[in-house]
Amino acid sequence: MYLQVKNITKQYHHHNGTVINALSDVSVTIEKGRFVTITGSSGSGKSTLLFILGGLLRPSSGSIFFNEQPLHSAGDNALSAFRQKHIGYVMQSFSLIPYLTAEENVMVPLSLLQKDKKTQMEIARELLTTVGLSDRMQHYPKELSAGQQQRVAIARALANNPSVILADEPTGNLDPSLASEILTLLKELNTKNGITIIMVTHSPEAAKYGNVKIHLKDGCVTKTN
């Protein structure tokens, strides 16, 4: 067992009193080194599940374990330490800082890890080379193609040397050929570097990259394999 949620529910409470059951009794076990895809229609609870798996959101009930560590009862500091140590995030909109170069964008999380400037720069360059951008380090986001911007975002997600990458529609804004480049890169990080990938996607094409498939419908898991 590696990352596991057991019987989790998530309710969102609106100020007008309505309650939305985003997840109902979801149990999933993810073994280390897998490439997991989460599919389901809009509003089925995919992002909610991803955020809970990454310790960004707490479930309303149920438990979540990373190895033997219970995260459902962890305090805020322990939860943020877990995220910083183990998790990298890649989102649909690349959320790069527009006035920083590719290299500087990747240096941001490294500076939070209190590395000195020279080390930050060395690691950022290494990571940008890993994602195939050694010749674009000094480019600003607007000078990069959409696929290249997503590569910078992936390099940034790798900065803390995470064991798990969570990706929410990482190819949602890309045309099919750029999308398959990004998916191939994620697959390489999975097979060569042993990073566990958990990816939300609408695309059946993208879902083929996974070896564990979770399908959600109305907040329930309807299929895992």
Ligand X SMILES: Nc1ncnc2c1ncn2[C@@H]1O[C@H](COP(=O)(O)OP(=O)(O)OP(=O)(O)O)[C@@H](O)[C@H]1O
**What is the chain's alpha carbon radius of gyration, rounded to the nearest angstrom?**
18
CA–CA distances in Å: residue 3 to residues 6, 65, 158: 10, 6, 19
What is the spatial distance between Cα 33 and Cα 1, in angstroms, rounded to a whole number?
A: 11
42 binds ligand X (CB under 6 A): yes
* Shortest spacing between CB 173 and ligand X, in angstroms: 13
List binders of ligand X among 5-24 (CB under 6 A): 12, 20, 22
Among 39, 48, 149, 196, binds ligand X (CB under 6 A): 48
Kindly tell me which of 47 and 120 has the beta carbon lying closer to Mg ion: 47
Among 47, 92, 171, 201, binds Mg ion (CB under 5 A): 47
The footprint of ligand X on this chain (CB under 6 A) covers a number of residues equal to 11
Q: CB within 8 A of 174, min separation 6: which ones?
A: 146, 147, 150, 182
Q: CB within 8 A of 224, min separation 6: which ones?
A: 28, 212, 213, 214, 215
99 binds ligand X (CB under 6 A): no
46 binds ligand X (CB under 6 A): yes
Q: Which one, of 54, 21, 55, 59, lies nearest residue 38 by Cα?
A: 54
Task: Name the one range near Mg ion by CB under 5 A: 17-25, 40-48, 175-183, 206-214.
Answer: 40-48
Site of interaction with ligand X (CB under 6 A)? 12, 20, 22, 40, 42-48
